[in-house]
Amino acid sequence: MFDYSLWGFTIVPVLIILSVLAFTATRYKRCPSNKILVVYGKTGGNSTAKCVHGGGTFIIPLIQDYAVLSLAPMTTEIDLKGALSKRNIRVSVPSTFTFGVSTDPKIMLNAAERLLGLAKNDIINQANDIILGQLRLVIATLSIEEINQDREKFLELINLNVNMELNKIGLEVINVNVRDITDESGYINAIGKKAAAEAINKAKIEVAQQEKFGAVGEAEANKEKEVQVAQQIAQKNIGRAEAEKEQRIQTANLDATAVAGEAAANKEREVQIAQQQSMMKIGTTTADTEQRIKTAELLAQAVEGENKAKANIAEYNAELAVKQAAALKLGEVAKANAERDVLIAQKEQEEARIKKEELARQEVEKLKIQVEADAEAERKRRIALGEADAIKAKYFAEAEGVKAVLEAKAEGYEKLVKLSPDKPELATSFLMIEKINEIVASQVEAIKNLKIDKITVWDGGSADGNGATANFLKGLIKSLPAMHDLAAQAGVELPQYLGKVEDSVGKAEDHAGEIKKEPKIIKGK
C-alpha cells in the first residue's frame, strides 16, 4: 500500500527547488551582441552602474534593476556653412556622420550615465551639437590648401577631435563622409584651376619632350640607316672594283705568260736559226723589245684600273660623308626645334604663373584697400557725427545763453518801463545806448586801415586868428558823424550827460590855437 505521507515529504522539496530555479532563471538576464545591458542600483564599489556587452548577469531582486542601450549606428547630417578657416576664408563643409554607443568599458559607463533612457532623436541632437562645434574648431586650425588637398589629415583631425568629445557622453564616430568643400570667395575653384593649368602645362612639356626624343630617335635611325646603306653600297662597289682588278691582273698575267712562252719559243727557234744565220740576232732583239713594250702596256692598264677603283672609293666616301652630314644636320635641327618648343612652353608656364601671382596680389591689395577705405569712411563718419553733436550742443548752449540774456534784458526793460510809464521811449533809448559801442567800433573800423605815411601842414595863419592847422583838425572832427546825430537818425534822443560834439570841437579849436604859426610836420599811420 502506498504511503502518501512519504510522498508529501518528497514532493515539497522538489517544488521548492523548482521554484528557486525558476525564479533564478527569470532574474538572470542575457545580453545580445547588438546591445549593452546596464545594471543599476546597488552594483558594488564606486561605480554607478555595471555595463555588460555579450553574455549575461544575475539581477538581484529589489536592490538591482536593468535597462538596455542599443548599439545600432545613428546618422546625422551636418550642413556646416560659413565656417572660418585658418586664413579667415569662410568655407562650407556639408558632411554625414555615423556614430554609435561605444563598446569600450570606460566609455560604456559614460553612455550609461548620460544616455540611458533617452530617445534616439535626443541622442542624435546632442551628438549633432558636439560634432558641429568640433568641426568648426578643426576647420579653424587648417588652411584651405590643407583641407582641400590633404583630405586624409582633415578626416584624421575630425575623427580625433569629434571622438574625444563624443566619448564624454559614451559615443564614438563610426564613419565620416565629407560630401563637398566650397568657399564663398571661390578660392578653392581658383586652386583647382591652378592645378589643372599646372597639369596641362606639365603634360605639354612632357609631350614636347617625347616629341623631341622621337624626332631625335628618328633622325638617329635615319642617319644609321643611311650610313649602313652607304657602307653596303661602298662595300659592293669596292668588291666589284677588286673583282675587276683581279680579273684584269689575271688576264694580264696570262697574256704576259703566253707572250713570254711564245717569245721563249721564238727565241729558241731564232737562236737555233741565229746559229745558222747571223741575222737571227736582230730578230731576237726585236722580240725582246716587243715583250718589254707589251709588259709596260699591261702594267699601265693595271695601274689605271687601280686608280679608277681608288677614285670610285673616294667618290663613295665623299657621298657617304655628305649624307652623314645631312643626317647630322637634320638631327641637330630637330633637337634644336624640340629644345625651342620646351623653352617656349616653360616661358608660357612662367608667364602664366607670374600673371596668376600678380592677379592674386592685386585681388589681395584690392580687398585690403576696400577694407581700409571702409574703415576710413566709418572713422570719418563717426568723427563727423561727433563734431555735429558737439556743434549741436554748442549751438544749444549758445541759444540757451542768448535766451537767458534776452530774458534778463526783457525783465530789466520791463522794470524800466514800469518805473517811467510816462516815457516809454526810454526802453528804446537804452537799447540804442547798448549799440553805441558797436556803431563807434564800425566807424573806427572804416577808417583804421587808411595808410597815411605823413601829413605836412604849412600854417601861415589867417585873418580870423585861427591857423590852418586848427581849421584842418576842426574839419577832420566835423567830418565824423556826431553821436547825437546818429541817435537822432535812429529816432532816439540821448541824455545830455553824454556830452555834445561842439565841446569836442571847441577843445580841438582851442588846442589848435596853441599850435605855433610856423610850419610843422605831423607823422602818423
Interval 236-278: pLDDT, tens: 888 887 878 788 888 877 777 777 777 777 777 776 776 777 6
Give the model confidence (pLDDT) of 492-518 as tens digits: 565 554 455 444 444 444 444 444 444
Alpha helices of 420-481 — where are they, by DSSP H?
425-448, 468-478
Give the model confidence (pLDDT) of 428-454 as tens digits: 666 666 666 777 677 667 666 666 655
Retrieve residue 324's grid coordinates.
652623314
Could you tell me which of 276, 297, 274 has the C-alpha nearest to residue 284? 274
- Which domains are delineated in the chain? 4-67 (no CATH), 73-185 (3.30.479.30), 191-370 (1.10.287), 426-523 (no CATH)
- Cβ-defined contacts of 74-78 (< 8 Å, 24+): 74/98, 74/99, 74/100, 74/120, 74/123, 74/124, 74/127, 76/124, 76/127, 76/128, 76/131, 78/128, 78/131, 78/132, 78/135
Q: Give the pLDDT score at 353.
A: 85
Angle of helix 187-276 relative to helix 280-419, nearest 10 degrees?
Answer: 170
Strand partners, 29: 57
Strand partners, 521: 456
Residues 51, 35 contacting (CB under 8 angstroms): no
Q: Give the pLDDT score at 261.
A: 76
CA distance 261 to 280: 18
Give the model confidence (pLDDT) of 24-37 as tens digits: 667 778 888 888 88
143 contacts: CB under 8 Å, gap ≥ 6: 85, 86, 87
CA distance 26 to 59: 9
CA distance 81 to 63: 50
Q: What SS3 string covers 342-397?
A: HHHHHHHHHHHHHHHHHHHHHHHHHHHHHHHHHHHHHHHHHHHHHHHHHHHHHHHH
Whole-structure pTM value? 0.37
